[in-house]
Chains A and B, each alone.
Chain A
Amino acid sequence: MEFSTRSIDGGFAEPVIAAQGVFRALMEAMARPGTVHALPPLAAPPAPLTAEAGAVALTLCDHDTPVWLDPELQGSAEIRDWIGFHTGAPFAFTPAEAHFALVSRPGELIALENFAQGSQDYPDRSATIILQLDTLAAGAPLVLEGPGIETRARLAPAPLPRHLATQWRQNNARFPRGVDLVLTAPGAIACLPRTTRIVETEG
């Protein structure tokens, strides 16, 4: 079993600076749901893992955070090796064991309720799901409300998990348990934490 050089390349050139920058963008995006933050191409993972999702993985994942890959990403030995080499993260056998999930095909994602939801005592023991999208601005508009949003925020991400509006209401109802979403698209990220409500959808 040869370890591909494609799995060794493409990490952060300056790990500390890059990870701090990505973390800052993530923190802002999580604190102000619906706002879009620029993310320069800092990582170059093997396709189909994108630069943005790869950068988020390099920033958040480590030896203590089991990672779940959707079937397309799971099918690539290069991607598994890349994540293993650069983050040291182990892979979760089931979505319920994962701290992070990387999803290249959001439209085919299994239901959010399959992922770790945390417990009443430890709501932080839930999954953060990182979705690779085509766009955050050109999809069907979502109108968002909740903590961190002064009045209403708008976001138009695509493609989204099936029946997201319904799934997200269920996710909201599980509070303080529930999953958080990181939405990545070329050059940008936004977040939907469990506290955010989707109040309107079109299309």
Chain B
Amino acid sequence: MYVAVKGGEAAIDNAHRLLADRRRGDRDVPALGLDQIVEQLALAVDRVMAEGSLYDRELAALAIRQARGDMIEAIFLVRAYRTTLPRFGYARPADTGAMLIERRVSATYKDLPGGQLLGPTFDYTHRLLDPQLAGDAPVAAPATREADTRAMPRVSEILTREGLIEGDGALPDDREPGDITREAPEFPMERDLRLQSLARGDEGFLLALAYSTQRGYARSHPFVGEIRIGELDIELDVPELPFPVPLGRIRVTECQMVNQFQGSAKAPPQFTRGYGLVFGQSERKAMAMALCDRALRAGEFGEDVTAPAQDEEFVIAHADNVQATGFVEHLKLPHYVDFQAELDLVRRMRAEAEAHTATPVKVAGKAAE
């Protein structure tokens, strides 16, 4: 039976009004500007762009403010917004080898063309809270030094020359890259679709899975071949112009994970790879993505699928925090009729159980379990 009921309109209106008040907080404290969020909470903005799967700093900042800093709510807002816009096309694949680099490190080679560039990293900080940052103390301008103008090849290209590592990752030439925003995902899934899903997957979920692979659940002996952060030029082919149109630049984080592989019936001993590419500056996410990408390629290498991180459906179907929050949070919406039906069922089962028992069960809380 289905019963439609109506009510709570005034309560909902007032709840929204209360939310607006609490969001603004103490009126004596200046309101946050979007430019402040973009400039000073840049990595929060990056995470909302990455998991909202929409590159637009101001929109991500607005979402963070509207969501009172609740990141998953902000990501949800961005995902909802993107559905209102038409699609102009697919950009040409960006070349991470031509990146304007802001950070680039490798854990596999000390000396490599272009060198190790630490960039604006939290690494090597002492993780001691800095009371000075509670105020607005002046900040020194960055140091500068003559830049190396040599090209900075990806570390994977250096390893490839030795022939001990697999290639970049191929799919049939005639395959148009799959798009989870256009076709409902089906399993098994090609690697292009997995990478798209991972790129917008929840950082916490992917981080936990990546960690699980390091702790022995799908052990893959990973090394960071390279992490690079910087800006990429984006180009789009359009009908009205005979050349690809430059759109500007976006910042991304790329992680090349290199994994020792002992060989199998399908492939000789070599280094295999996992790949991570994420909007903004987020190397934790890029690394987690690369570890999960590699773990999910188990079938390709003839490895036994024994761990959660190798289970494609488990990982991909649960990586999206907007889907996850929708299904978990819907539980708080009214289920009055559902619950009445269940209550009725449990009462009947109880009555039947008691009828079958010589000595009726004493009614106690535990009996209901």
Contact = CB atoms under 8 A, between A and B. Distances in A.
B239 A1 contact: no
A84 B239 CA distance: 6
Nearest to B242: A1
Interface in B74-88: 86-88
A63 B89 CA distance: 7
A3 interface: yes
A132 to B, nearest CB: 22
A90 to B, nearest CB: 9
B300 interface: no
Interface string B237-267: 0011110000000000000000000000000
B241 A88 contact: no
Chain B at the A interface: SS class: loop
B182 interface: yes
A88 B239 contact: yes
Interface string A130-157: 0000000000000000000000000000
Nearest to B87: A63
A164 interface: no
A113 interface: no
A93 interface: no
Interface string B214-239: 00000000000000000000000001
A124 interface: no
B182 A3 contact: no
Contacts, number: 26
Contacts of A1: 242
Interface string A56-74: 0000001110000000000
Contacts of A63: 86-89
A81 B86 contact: no
A8 interface: yes
Interface string B94-132: 000000000000000000000000000000000000000
Contact of B239 (A62, A64, A81): A81
Nearest to A63: B87
A63 B87 CA distance: 6
B239 A85 contact: yes
Interface string A75-95: 000000100110010000000
Contact of A64 (B182, B241, B242): B182
Nearest to B179: A64
B88 A88 contact: yes
Interface in A81-124: 81, 84-85, 88
Contacts of A81: 239-240
A19 to B, nearest CB: 11
A81 B89 CA distance: 16
Contacts of A88: 86-89, 239
A84 to B, nearest CB: 3
Contacts of B239: 3, 81, 84-85, 88
Contacts of A84: 239-240
A62 B89 CA distance: 10
B87, B239, B240 interface centre (most CB from chain A within 10 Å): B239
A3 B241 contact: yes
A1 B241 CA distance: 9
Contacts of B182: 64
Interface string A1-29: 10100011000000000000000000000
Contacts of A8: 240
Contacts of B242: 1, 3
Interface in B285-322: none
B101 to A, nearest CB: 33
B88, B89, B240 interface centre (most CB from chain A within 10 Å): B240
A85 B240 CA distance: 6
A76 to B, nearest CB: 14
B178 to A, nearest CB: 14
Nearest to B241: A3
Nearest to A8: B240
26 contacts: A1-B242, A3-B239, A3-B240, A3-B241, A3-B242, A7-B240, A8-B240, A62-B86, A62-B87, A63-B86, A63-B87, A63-B88, A63-B89, A64-B87, A64-B182, A81-B239, A81-B240, A84-B239, A84-B240, A85-B239, A85-B240, A88-B86, A88-B87, A88-B88, A88-B89, A88-B239
Interface of A: 1, 3, 7-8, 62-64, 81, 84-85, 88
Across the A-B interface, give the 10 residue pairs with the lowest CB-CB distance, nearest first: A84-B239, A63-B87, A85-B240, A3-B240, A85-B239, A1-B242, A63-B89, A62-B86, A88-B88, A81-B239
Given A1-B242, A3-B240, A63-B87, 7 more contacts: A3-B241, A3-B242, A62-B87, A63-B89, A84-B239, A85-B240, A88-B87
